Amino acid sequence: MPKNKYWQDCLSTLEKKISPQNFSTWIRPIRLKDITGNLVHLVVPNRFIRDWINENYQEIIEDTISQLINDKCRIKFEISATNTIPENEITEKDSIVKAIKKTDITSAETEKKNSGLYLNDKYTFEDFVPGSSNQFAYAAAMAVANNPATTYNPLFIYGGVGLGKTHIINAIGNEIINKNNNLKVCYYSSEKFMNELINCLRYAKMDEFRQKFRSMDVLLIDDVQFIAGKERTQEEFFHTFNALYESHKQIVVTSDKFPKDIPGLEERLRSRFEWGLIADIQPPDIETKQAILKMKADQNGIYLPEDVTLFLANSISSNVRELEGYLIRIGAYASLTSTPINLNMAKEILKNILIEKNKEISIEEIQKNVAAYFSIKVSDLKSAKRLKALVIPRQIAMYISRQLTSCSYPEIGDKFGGKDHSTIIHAIKKIERQLEEDYQLKITVENLKNSLTN
């Protein structure tokens, strides 16, 4: 099968899996260049598209190609501003398969010298914009990177979705390797940790698994909240943690919640996470958002006018990933249509997203979010049960309802199982008082409000 026909098949399959708009923005511009070993070389017009695809579509593209050729492959991108397709055709599907089979899949472990196992070298401190919202986590991360296993161990970084946890934990690893190339550093998402554990259990390779993690100098585990409720994973992680900690090795974990707010997390792990330093990342303020946008635009060679930067920083999300996504969308549009970026264009591109975001928040949504956050039922929020585990979330939900909706006290009472307006006033006053002294509660409420408004 000629190479282009083969790529067409791949595109047709992808077209069925991805929404039309996303398909034409992100997938359509990709060209197949070449195949070497198990690597499929693709060409994209710019860094935006490459990074976006890597983050959002890499797996689906690899799976689609792997299925078509009946073998496992990886994709690699090249950037070509002119988007030319070199014509070194591979004519038969068989020869593609053969080429892929010839080379064993090179694991990321052996691919580079010492660049840290599974570390993303794209995420460094130089590329991280510090601001009042992340200052504490940033300083703690730098301190750990400069003196691993001496100052803060473990370092526990937590914050809402898309606020830079993965970036900062990888930056720690990259910085450590830059300073001392002999140290063994590995980065694992907790899901990857779990999958590898399951595989090792299945194939009776637990000794290998233990040996691998326990030989590390620095263990970085991202999104640790996902191991909560997974008994075997927590147990293995607990032993790994102890072994490393006792040998004075650095451990850094990130999570979307404070340890005591992670439902299903074993007590012994929770207490260990609290042994070291706990640092939070808060949603960025407008100035930090502007600085991030400017840096990302610069890095990608986009000219982003001041008024567009301000518009983006003001009107959209505090979730930096989303912010970056909008910048990428605008940049890709400008690049694909060869039009300069201006305010009207940015408004037009983001019109639908903004309408969606500006919709008024309902009490039902607030209840759903608060219940999910505390892993309780919405019906418990509406009930009159006096358990502490329900009373606090209920009062928080009432407080947020008053803050984010225009509902009156009696209306809020109605939505909470027909409670009297005086109960609502009492709950709100109580939360207001506690917010002044309980920093942890303040962050929980901020995170919840943020997840509802972004």
Ligand X SMILES: Nc1ncnc2c1ncn2[C@@H]1O[C@H](COP(=O)(O)OP(=O)(O)OP(=O)(O)O)[C@@H](O)[C@H]1O
* Cα 192 from Cα 118, distance rounded (Å): 10
Out of 45, 148, 154, 164, name the contact with ligand X by CB under 6 A: 164
* Cα 284 from Cα 450, distance rounded (Å): 11
- Please state, as a whole number, how many other Cβ atoms lie within 10 Å of the Cβ of residue 415: 21
Q: How many residues belong to the site for ligand X (CB under 6 A)?
A: 18
Our CA dihedral for 210, 212, 216, 222, rounded to 10 degrees, sits at -80
What is the Rg, in whole angstroms, of the alpha carbon atoms belonging to the chain?
25
Region of 29-37, 121-129, 368-376, 442-450 interacting with ligand X (CB under 6 A)? 121-129
* Cα 128 from Cα 130, distance rounded (Å): 6
The number of CA neighbours under 13 Å toward the Cβ of 133 is: 23
Region of 66-74, 98-106, 123-131, 385-393 interacting with ligand X (CB under 6 A)? 123-131
Q: Taking a C-beta distance cutoff of 8 angstroms, is the pair 349, 333 a contact?
A: yes
Beta strands 74-79 and 155-159, pairing class: unpaired
**33: annotated binding-site residue?**
no
Tell me how far, at minimum, the Cβ of 321 lies from ligand X, in Å: 4
* Cα 343 from Cα 346, distance rounded (Å): 5
Is the Cβ of residue 69 or residue 129 nearer to ligand X in the bound state?
A: 129
**164: annotated binding-site residue?**
yes
Out of 183, 251, 278, 320, name the contact with ligand X by CB under 6 A: 320
Out of 32, 42, 49, 129, name the contact with ligand X by CB under 6 A: 129
Binding to ligand X by residue 175, rule CB under 6 A? no
**DSSP structure string for 342-387:** -HHHHHHHTHHHHHHHTSPPPHHHHHHHHHHHTT--HHHHHS----
Out of 27, 163, 332, 398, name the contact with ligand X by CB under 6 A: 163
Joined tokens for residue 416: 């909470």
Binding to ligand X by residue 68, rule CB under 6 A? no
Out of 128, 152, 187, 188, name the contact with ligand X by CB under 6 A: 128
Tell me how far, at minimum, the Cβ of 185 lies from ligand X, in Å: 17
Out of 93, 321, 430, 442, name the contact with ligand X by CB under 6 A: 321
Out of 45, 116, 154, 162, name the contact with ligand X by CB under 6 A: 162
Q: What angle, rounded to 10 degrees, do the helices at 363-373 and 388-404 form?
A: 140
Is the Cβ of residue 117 or residue 129 nearer to ligand X in the bound state?
A: 129
Q: Taking a C-beta distance cutoff of 8 angstroms, is the pair 160, 447 a contact?
A: yes
Site string for ligand X, 210-249 (x = CB under 6 A): -------------x--------------------------
Is the Cβ of residue 163 or residue 366 nearer to ligand X in the bound state?
A: 163
Tell me how far, at minimum, the Cβ of 96 lies from ligand X, in Å: 33
Of 378, 361, 325, 324, the closest CA to residue 453 belongs to 361
Site string for ligand X, 352-371 (x = CB under 6 A): --------------------
Out of 236, 256, 266, 280, name the contact with ligand X by CB under 6 A: 256
Omega before 154 cis (within 30°)? yes
Out of 3, 31, 167, 289, name the contact with ligand X by CB under 6 A: 167
Q: Residue of minimal CB distance from ligand X?
A: 164
Out of 142, 143, 161, 349, name the contact with ligand X by CB under 6 A: 161
* Cα 100 from Cα 76, distance rounded (Å): 14
Out of 31, 33, 50, 165, name the contact with ligand X by CB under 6 A: 165
Tell me how far, at minimum, the Cβ of 95 lies from ligand X, in Å: 38
* Cα 364 from Cα 115, distance rounded (Å): 47
The torsion angles phi and psi of 135, rounded to 5 degrees, stand at: -55, -45
SS3 258: coil
* Cα 178 from Cα 181, distance rounded (Å): 6
Joined tokens for residue 310: 């301000």
Tell me how far, at minimum, the Cβ of 161 lies from ligand X, in Å: 4
Binding to ligand X by residue 292, rule CB under 6 A? yes
Question: Which residues ranging from 322 to 341 are in contact with ligand X (CB under 6 A)?
Answer: 324
Helix (H) or strand (E) holding 75: strand 74-79
Is the Cβ of residue 321 or residue 442 nearer to ligand X in the bound state?
A: 321
**276: annotated binding-site residue?**
no
**351: annotated binding-site residue?**
no
Binding-site residue set for ATP:
162, 164-166
Q: Which residues bind ligand X (CB under 6 A)?
A: 127-129, 134, 159, 161-167, 223, 256, 292, 320-321, 324
Point out the annotated binding site: 162, 164-166
